[in-house]
Structure 1
């Protein structure tokens, strides 16, 4: 672990974001945040206790993530987006025993879930995913009602929900999203105790008609606006900040170049600092020659290509900078560049 590179997560920011999202939905609508991939990289260990007392369930990608939530003591609703038929039988069976709601997106997935329910001696709750235009996983909308009928005839499996996922809800032009919404409505069964859900972060903010009985915020939980055009509609607080320390400061002459490919040329005699972070730490290489960091309250542009574990920044305009100074790599300030 690099002791000169620190990520901090603000629990108060997450609480604020949850409250803002709650304010946009009806009190009867369930809030089920997406916490896949370790809470989008923010850390389940840190955020689980913050979220568990404020939400109505969790949505995860994999069976392993779902079972880990149970191991943490969470006994509420958990929706697993990916079916478990590629996993070992013991995982499939444990999902049934633990009451994890699984996703049906094909007949093969349904057969796998039914077999696990039979082995485990229980009933498996499932939600049907309908592909209304995202073009990824899910039953085509035109086949959804037939699949609903099939699920309802299968012993050991209970259909408790139907959902879809929007492809362009964050865009100003809502044409595609409204088309998806109308197509989704054609897949609804009549009657039964079935919930419907479709709204991601953008739809929660901008399309109240998509809220139905449950919403699934992702990025917004962690303080990220789905798009620039939605920034003025909700106040979100980024919950992550990343700090580093300068490990070197040096002078370079006008005309000097730096980094792999020598893609940056200094237009003046300059002072540069070396920051120990790179694409190996998740700092995207495509930020080369584009991003800035903040040192002593002032912006310092990234110069040259981002390397695997370090990058160069121009500190000419920060005269008193020195080795060991803190470098704000990711800011919790939503107005920061």
Structure 2
């Protein structure tokens, strides 16, 4: 059976991108974000590829994601970024030898309930200005005291998260780094600040550990720098195919709400993918796709199962031709910009109707 929409994930590209990350921060260890099912790329195959490449640690959002990787027999250290939410999860984290990121004192209270025999490795997350999760910076001495009172607890390090690292002219990133470092003067333990944008744009954020996510999947986190310019290779290629080609007259309208009006007699193609596959309905007329290596613009509103395209630049397109929505030569971040969003949302929004194929060139 021919799939309607295929997402082909090149695992060799992910390993290549890990190499780029290591070149950017040669003195740092790497914690690879594979949360949200590997940013929509498939957490298990991606994690296996990263583990084979010697990744230092994997990072997931929650316990369910960590357990899925352990059930897949991935033995690499795994950090749970949101930490534990119950005594049951705390016990499971100890049993599965997970690294727990702790961001509030109630989580420490839960871990304390496991008793002095429990062996757990912790990251302390500090709030340097993101104001989402994290201990106040002033709590560092209290956290040190809590750690000292629990000889079974091992400190993995101290981390914080950057709020505006993708805004390269915004000084707030430097403010966050300065606050974080000031709070930890004289305090032992590794430090981690940089996400993908921090890693690329802010050398000051490349401390003991870096935590890349989007960059590993070959997309640029910076609006003014392309993945190609950064030496990254897009890991995912999303493709469908033409299922109809028709000719319409000047003035004819295409699709729901008559969102596109033909300026002249022209060929229009119908592509078998829509918002039920995860294609954003907010993508406007003019959003580029590729057919036979030629860019063709969307013409009409994205519907549940179909997208219509202007074929004037590719007049020889025919039913059955592959249509690329993003991938090499058509970066996901560029497509996302047409909808006023980011590549993360495109990757994570693909639905179960998309067939995933993992290759390792």
Equivalents in 2 of 1:70, 1:300: separation in Å? 43
**1:220 equivalent in structure 2:** 215
Which of 112, 115, 118 is the aligned partner of 1:118? 115
Equivalents in 2 of 1:111, 1:233: separation in Å? 47
Equivalents in 2 of 1:319, 1:85: separation in Å? 57
7-16 vs 156-165, which deviates more?
Answer: 156-165
Conservation of the 8 A alpha-carbon contact between 1:114 and 1:156: no
Equivalents in 2 of 1:146, 1:258: separation in Å? 64
- Relative contact order higher in (CA < 8 Å, ≥ 6 apart): 2
Equivalents in 2 of 1:236, 1:19: separation in Å? 9
**1:168 equivalent in structure 2:** 164
Equivalents in 2 of 1:41, 1:2: separation in Å? 22
Say which SS state the counterpart of residue 17 (structure 1) adopts.
helix
Structure-to-structure mapping, 1:76-115, within 5 angstroms: 76-86=76-86, 89-115=87-113
1:247 counterpart = 2:243? yes
Which of 201, 210, 213 is the aligned partner of 2:205? 210
Equivalents in 1 of 2:326, 2:289: separation in Å? 8
1:323 counterpart = 2:319? yes
What's the TM-score, normalizing by structure 2? 0.85
**2:153 equivalent in structure 1:** 157
Conservation of the 8 A alpha-carbon contact between 1:152 and 1:158: no
TM-aligned CA distance change 1:15 to 1:158, over 3 Å: closer
How well do the aligned residues superpose, as a CA RMSD in angstroms? 2.2
What's the TM-score, normalizing by structure 1? 0.91
Shift in Å at residue 191 of structure 1?
4.6
Shift in Å at residue 69 of structure 1?
2.3
Which of 273, 289, 294 is the aligned partner of 1:293? 289
Equivalents in 2 of 1:2, 1:159: separation in Å? 51
Equivalents in 2 of 1:334, 1:312: separation in Å? 18
What whole-Å deviation, never above 9, does each CA across 1:64-123 have from its counterpart, x for those lacking one? 11222222333332211112215xx443311111221112111111112222x339x422
Structure-to-structure mapping, 1:28-39, within 5 angstroms: 29-39=28-38
TM-aligned CA distance change 1:264 to 1:106, over 3 Å: same
1:143 counterpart = 2:139? yes
Equivalents in 2 of 1:229, 1:152: separation in Å? 45
Shift in Å at residue 229 of structure 1?
2.8
Conservation of the 8 A alpha-carbon contact between 1:222 and 1:238: yes
Conservation of the 8 A alpha-carbon contact between 2:44 and 2:69: no
Shift in Å at residue 174 of structure 1?
4.4
Show structure 1 runs of 5+ residues with no match: none
Equivalents in 1 of 2:243, 2:225: separation in Å? 38
**1:68 equivalent in structure 2:** 68
Show structure 2 runs of 5+ residues with no match: 336-361
